Amino acid sequence: MNNYPLALKKLEEILDKNEILVDEPMRNHTYFEIGGTADIIAIPNTIEKLVSVIKLMKEEEVPLFLIGNGSNLLVKDGGIRGCVLKTEAIRRISCDGDRITAECGALLKDISDAALDASLAGFEFACGIPGTLGGAVFMNAGAYDGEMSFVLESARVLTRDLEVVTLKNGDLEMGYRTSAVKSNGYVVLEAVLKLTPGDSGAIKAKIDDLTERRNERQPLEYPSAGSTFKRPPGYYAGKLIQDAGLKGYQIGGAQVSEKHSGFVINRDHASAKDVIDLINHIKKTVDSKFGVELNTEILIVGEELRDIS
């Protein structure tokens, strides 16, 4: 671990021992199963603890990086300096009429299940997105013609100035894979979703259909971070990659999925460098063949592995 002993000591006054990991490989905390060591990983189980950790790291000038469950993340081989703050243990969900309130670490699948139990429609699109509510608001996650902006009524966030404020949907500036949370560096604490009363049988049928379509079309048998690239205007990234002859193309242990070309997968113990080199090759090839620029949807963070030879 780098030189953060004082911060770690103070952190131990806020969190229980089982909520703190030191010198922990990030490959254990991402869906890609890739990533070097993080100096500290803090996993608070309440919003109050989460806010306290953020305040502490700011006071101690320790770099802080927030993640949900690592489903949309590639961590470089050199790892992450400072403190990684995971929200996955902050996951309470409650239902009141046609509204569901969920904390930042609640899994979208669990919220989808809660909506089904309450016979509320409108959140079926998220049943197969393997992320948390906080991350979904951050990037306005979406799938199968649905997205968070369609159902999000409000979000309670922590600002850069450490103020807790509630923002309505219109204030959140939700766009394609972006939001005011992302652009302003806010932290989602919890959010309220407004859904529509419906028939539980019809809701379940739609969830089952979307689940089947996802299982058929996506390479869920291999570690990945989901769709690697954003959808370029007027195109589909997967089709461009396939038409460029890159389906199955491999660099090291990273491969363009043979099942869906829009996914880069960890086929065989890939390093982050393998994945990044493959992403760069895909972008260069697609641009050369079709004049279309691809931008990554996955978030790439951390440090390069330093050569100490």
- For residue 191, what are the β-bridge partners? 102, 155
In terms of Cα–Cα distance, which of 86, 85, 88, 70 is closest to 34? 70
List of E strands, 195-284: 196-197, 250-251, 254-256, 264-266
Which of helix, strand or coil describes residue 162?
A: coil
DSSP state of 297: S
Marked catalytic residue, from 27, 91, 177, 267: 177
177: annotated active-site residue? yes
Burial pattern 48-59, b for ≥16 Cβ within 10 A else e, equals: ebbbbbbebbee
> Do residues 75 and 35 touch, judged by C-beta distance below 8 A?
yes
Give the span between the Cα atoms of 191 and 96, in whole angstroms: 13
227: annotated active-site residue? yes
183: annotated active-site residue? no
Give the span between the Cα atoms of 117 and 94, in whole angstroms: 11
Please give the torsion angle defined by the CA atoms of residues 222, 223, 226 and 230, in that order, rounded to the nearest 10 degrees: -100
Marked catalytic residue, from 154, 224, 227, 271: 227
Marked catalytic residue, from 24, 124, 147, 297: 297
Which positions are catalytic?
A: 177, 227, 297
